[in-house]
Amino acid sequence: MNTSRKNGNGNGHLRRHHRRIGTALVALVLFLAVTGIVLNHSSDMGLDRRYVSWSWLLNAYGMGEPEPYAGKVTVGPLVVVGDATQVHVLLNSGELVETLDLGALLPGPIERVGQAGERAVLQSGGSLYRSDADVSAFDVWEEGAAIDVAWSTPVDPNAEGLEILQTAWRGQGLTVERVLLDLHSGRIFKLPGRLVLDLVGLGMIVLSITGLVLARRRSRKA
């Protein structure tokens, strides 16, 4: 009699814990199930070809708005844009010709972009650098301090004609499939998200074990 009562109390406690854990996990398990099913058919639904445009989400992925460009000048048929330690050379039509990485030449980021005659001029770390005639290279311009340079002002990355630079910055963009995958895995919330999913996994293990124990005890009682 006492043994039967103890077993009954034990089963009651186990059932309560089993029920509480299940109730706590139900929303997350449903979420994982739904996102898993959707991801399994993402290609059929075209989610790998649909792109997200929400700025707050792009910022979270480091794909938000770039900093304003240091400046922009027009040299003959070319448009020269200074960006950190890079110079983007475009045609007037907006087509990107090339991007020059001047990190090894410049002492720091590009501070200003200007024009002297038919040459582009950069200022970095208090020194001046002038392009060659076709803007394919830059060299230190020591005598530039004595020459008037027409300096441009910083440029909004969304300025007309610079769309191709935005594409280069962001790539094709962020797909709905990628966002769903990161939600499903918890990566979108970084370490806290991954830890929550770890807890969900542990909770499912506990539910499986307690469910088996309860089922076994019930079968023995029967």
pLDDT in tens, 80-110: 999 889 999 999 888 889 999 999 999 999 9
Domain that holds residue 55: 2-61+174-221
180 and 160 in a single domain? The answer is no
pTM: 0.54
**Same-domain check for residues 181 and 162:** no
Instruction: Note whether residue 141 is domain-resident.
Output: yes
Positions of the chain with pLDDT lower than 50, given as ranges: 1-2
For the chain, give the longest Cα–Cα distance.
106
Tell me, yes or no, whether 78 and 162 share the same domain. Answer: yes
* Residues 93, 37 share a domain: no
Could you tell me if 50 and 76 lie in one domain?
Answer: no
In a domain, 66, yes or no: no
Q: Please give the pLDDT value at position 14.
A: 85
Which pLDDT belongs to residue 122? 95
Burial (CB count <10 Å: 0-12, 13-18, 19+), residue 194: middle
Number of structural domains in the chain: 2
- 123 lies in the same domain as 190: no
Query: How confident is the model at residue 111, as a pLDDT?
Result: 95
pLDDT in the model for residue 1 = 45
